[in-house]
Amino acid sequence: MPLVPTASIVDAARAARVGAAAFNVIHLETAEALVTAAERTGIPLILQISENCIHYHGSLLPLTRATLALAEESTARIAVHLDHITDTELVHQGITAGVRSVMVDASALPYDQNVATTAALAAWCHERGAYVEAELGEVGGKDGVHAPGARTDPDEALAFVRATRVDALAVAVGSSHAMRERTAELDKDLIAELRTTLPVPLVLHGSSGVPDDELRRAIAAGMTKINISTHLVSVFTGSIRHTLASDPALVDSRKYVKPAREAVAQEATRLLEVLNTPVAAPDVQTAKATVRS
């Protein structure tokens, strides 16, 4: 099946008030597992490749081309997205290689520089038909710029979206990157206010640390794109540890990677279903009544 635009997945999820799942690719085996999950459920999926992952593999093209090929050969509706890209050259390389969705991450820069950098790259990407996500401030846990208690200001977020013309915005509402326990509680009142204030979909980074029910409540409050990486990486690694401990003589990597791939496929299948189970929107008193013009 041809690649599905990220916009079509995110916009449909926003309208239906369900989650647009965005799971990170670490290597070919995780990409295969995630595609399997999308095929089993029939639920659209965004495959994400981060800048850290690109650096791990040494360059952008090999894993990106493999991921694009998997998506194009799948019967599922799949988009491919570049995640947390700080390097302008990598944005250019990715779009040139056929990726049509990117998160431009200038969040560690001062506000004015973040706006200028993001706006310039968004304009370049839009000229080539690519979807652009950005981040205002930095969600906790990635580089220590903000603690998990950081919160996105709705008025500043609206000004940022207007100035940069991005298509989606990652916001700080209580999550933190790289959490290994699913214990985070999100600010649903703020999510609802951001939903009514901003004309673009909201993106939740650091979702690995958020329990299932809390994810559902966040989506009901107005969150749309849900990024998950660390949790699925933990599932993969846990399976390998279990297999090797059960058979210390095992040397053929396929015999311990295959069950790990299946474990990720099973958990990704479960998460896709969690994110696509609608719940009633909460009656949030602090939410704005109308979207600001």
**Which residues are tagged catalytic?**
83
Strand partners for 45: 78
Give the pairing type, strands 202-204 and 45-50: unpaired
Q: Are 287 and 192 in contact (CB under 8 A)?
A: yes
CA angle (27 as vertex; 23, 31 as ends), nearest 5: 45
Give me the half-sphere count of Cα atoms (radius 13 Å) on the Cβ side of residue 241.
6
CA angle (178 as vertex; 189, 139 as ends), nearest 5: 45
d(CA 146, CA 175): 11
> Which residues fall within 8 angstroms of residue 226, CB to CB, at 6 or more apart?
19, 20, 21, 22, 203, 204, 207, 215, 219, 275
